[in-house]
């Protein structure tokens, strides 16, 4: 009997997957399913397992846990990012890795659009004035006609580009290679040369995956090159931004604001200076989490499990040399 190991946390995740896999004729119906809540139990649960679902995608429990994984052929991560995986060991064992690409694209793009609108329409100041019972008329900004540089040209970055384009924002991309004529971005600049390009934009949208090349990508040099009226929105991974450099840029007025759904460290300590900065907006890594996402993810996994059972190619396969799925 094939075996599936699932590293999970909240009960609602288990309920969502049970609801999909327990129906008659569903893929995985004849599998032995091993639920793991304590990461310390993962090594034992991987012995004899054919597949692993990392529903607790923030966990680094897989580091050092593959020693007994004698049959493991497939790992599925319940997120777009797969930076928690021990790449060299996974690659050496010939394990296929897939991710949840497509589940979070639209919700995250809506979140980014909301951030831009909140900044442009001064919504946060309106909330503070309301709390103080102050009626103060003022002018706000047009969003249409502004320019956004989107770092990360994968599925999420592309959905952001299409969503902002519908609002009249002129978009460009930043990726691993410069090119023109992209169907969603038009021009794509080399993200390694980010500081040379950000000065032409009103918005810097960070949707980059976490790889060795993107760790610390947005740093003091990038902030110093941005317009003082520009804002940062980051929804990818916290370590792609050097947090101390961001704090300095906000305090010194190098940039006008930042909306941060991911930070480094995460969660942010209570005494961290970002909490007190009036031009920083913080949300707790929730930009892609809308009602029903667990069931959508379970359905996506079940569809790939059916392919796995049939010996067909899996969808959303990760290039382990690059650290992300090809767009």
Distance CA(173)–CA(148), nearest Å, equals 8
Residue 138, CA atoms < 13 Å, CB-side half-sphere: 12
CATH of the domain at 118: 3.40.50.720
Q: Which tokens in the block code for residue 131? A: 């709390």
pTM of the predicted model, to two decimals? 0.90
Tell me how many degrees the CA angle 51-36-16 measures, rounded to the nearest 5: 80
Question: 143 and 92 share a domain?
Answer: no
Question: 136 and 194 share a domain?
Answer: yes
Question: 298 and 188 share a domain?
Answer: no
Provide the terminal-to-terminal Cα distance of the chain, rounded to the nearest Å: 35
Question: 11 and 135 share a domain?
Answer: no
Question: 128 and 191 share a domain?
Answer: yes
Question: 89 and 116 share a domain?
Answer: no
Structural domain that includes position 179: 104-282
Question: 139 and 182 share a domain?
Answer: yes
Question: 80 and 111 share a domain?
Answer: no
**Residues identified as active-site:** 237, 266, 285
Q: Which tokens in the block code for residue 254? A: 């190098």
Distance CA(196)–CA(236), nearest Å, equals 21
Question: 122 and 202 share a domain?
Answer: yes
Give the number of domains in the chain.
2
Question: 147 and 229 share a domain?
Answer: yes
Distance CA(78)–CA(111), nearest Å, equals 19
Distance CA(162)–CA(105), nearest Å, equals 11
Distance CA(112)–CA(116), nearest Å, equals 6
Instruction: pLDDT tens for the chain, 327 residues: list them.
Output: 688 888 876 676 778 887 777 766 677 778 888 989 888 899 999 999 999 998 876 777 888 888 889 999 999 998 877 887 888 899 999 999 999 999 999 999 999 999 999 999 999 999 999 999 999 999 999 999 999 999 999 999 999 999 999 999 999 999 999 999 999 999 999 999 999 999 999 999 999 999 999 999 999 999 999 999 999 999 999 999 999 999 999 999 999 999 999 999 999 999 999 999 999 999 999 999 999 998 999 999 999 999 999 999 999 999 888 877 765
């Amino acid at each position: 009997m094939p075996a599936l190991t699932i590293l999970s946390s909240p009960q609602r995740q288990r309920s969502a997957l049970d609801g999909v896999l327990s129906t008659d004729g569903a893929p995985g119906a004849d599998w032995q399913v091993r639920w793991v809540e304590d990461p310390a139990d993962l090594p034992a649960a991987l012995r004899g397992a054919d597949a692993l679902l990392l529903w607790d995608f923030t966990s680094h429990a897989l580091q050092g846990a593959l020693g007994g994984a004698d049959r493991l052929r497939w790992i599925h991560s319940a997120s777009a990012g797969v930076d928690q995986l021990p790449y060299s060991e996974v690659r050496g064992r010939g394990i296929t890795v897939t991710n949840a690409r497509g589940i979070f694209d639209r919700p995250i793009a809506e979140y980014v659009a909301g951030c831009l609108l909140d900044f442009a329409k001064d919504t946060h100041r309106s909330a503070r004035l309301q709390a103080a019972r102050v009626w103060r008329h003022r002018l706000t900004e047009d969003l249409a006609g502004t320019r956004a540089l989107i770092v990360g040209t994968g599925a999420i970055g592309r959905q952001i580009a299409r969503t902002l384009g519908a609002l009249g924002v002129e978009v460009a991309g930043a990726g691993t290679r410069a090119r023109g004529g992209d169907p969603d971005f038009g021009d794509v600049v080399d993200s390694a040369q980010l500081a040379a390009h950000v000065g032409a934009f009103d918005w810097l949208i960070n949707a980059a995956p976490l790889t060795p090349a993107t760790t610390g990508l947005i740093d003091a040099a990038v902030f110093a090159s941005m317009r003082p009226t520009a804002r940062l929105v980051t929804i990818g991974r916290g370590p792609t931004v050097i947090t101390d450099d961001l704090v300095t840029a906000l305090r010194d007025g190098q940039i006008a604001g930042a909306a941060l759904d991911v930070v480094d460290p995460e969660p942010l300590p209570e005494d961290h200076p970002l909490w007190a900065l009036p031009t920083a907006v913080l949300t707790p890594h929730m930009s892609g989490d809308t009602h029903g996402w667990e069931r959508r993810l379970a359905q996506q996994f079940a569809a790939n499990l059916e392919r796995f059972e049939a010996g067909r190619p899996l969808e959303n396969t990760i290039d382990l040399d690059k650290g992300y799925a090809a767009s």
